[in-house]
Amino acid sequence: MRLKDKVALITGGAAGIGKATAKVFKEQGAVVCLCDVNEEAGLVTAKELGCTFSKVDVSDRQAVQTWVVKVIEQFGRIDILVNNAGILRDGLFVKVQDGEIVKQMTEEAFDLVVKVNLKGVFNCTQAVAPYMIRQESGAIVNASSVVGMDGNFGQTNYVATKAGVIGMTKVWARELGRYNIRVNAVAPGSIQTEMLSSMPENILTEWKKHQPLRRFGQPEEVANAYLFLASEEASFVSGAVLRVDGGMVVGT
């Protein structure tokens, strides 16, 4: 029971890695509060696991603040924040054919991914941090990605946000450490989630060739990394980026 009676907020908790994290945290004794934009799936997950659920768009600052205040009113404290919510809108930066530009990543696709993946992490952390500061304790775990460290073809927007999350993680570890608040990031590789399953089979087959362990990761394997960083076992770990990628090297 490594998280016994800890109040944990998990964004993007309706499915995939977020749901797996909620399950692991509950098993370890935490009081789990989920949010997601997918209300239907979120309510099902909350009922299944015995968590609370709120429909929240993390890019909406007021919605985030309302959720956090609601948690404080109900439980009196927040011990853990897992910034797990994220989206993909992949596309080539510029596609050229016969010397002519035929397609490029749209401004809308860039802005949307930044709003959710980067601003969403900023919104949630800034909403939660004052309460952690007052109680002089807390653990924040941010979802980055191996592509935020290595780059990846066709993911200008996604890579920019995940690299930005790493940067913010290191800043907050410095700024919040004096209040006994630890801030870390997890950088998953290819994890078998709904997001991965939506990709073309030929791309998945090619990706698997770059996996030294010859398989994709499971959501529970990322959830266990979140658990470690959120627990007292990581009491002297802050500002770190933990890769959970099976030894994957992007682009080789």
User: C-alpha dihedral over 196, 159, 146, 182, to 10 degrees?
Assistant: -110
Q: At what angle do helices 120-135 and 61-75 cross, to 10 degrees?
A: 30
Please choose, from the candidates 16, 77, 79, 12, the residue with its C-alpha nearest in 3D space to the C-alpha of residue 231. Answer: 79
Q: What is the 3-state secondary structure (H, E, C) of the chain?
A: CCCCCCEEEEECCCCHHHHHHHHHHHHCCCEEEEEECCHHHHHHHHHHHCCEEEECCCCCHHHHHHHHHHHHHHHCCCCEEEECCCCCCCECCEEEECCEEEEECCHHHHHHHHHHHHHHHHHHHHHHHHHHHHHCCEEEEEECCCHHHHCCCCEHHHHHHHHHHHHHHHHHHHHHHHHCEEEEEEEECCECCHHHHCCCHHHHHHHHCCCCCCCCECHHHHHHHHHHHHCHHHCCCCCCEEEECCCCCCCC
Q: Which of 131, 158, 179, 226 is catalytic?
A: 158
158 is a catalytic site residue: yes
- Annotated catalytic sites, by residue? 158
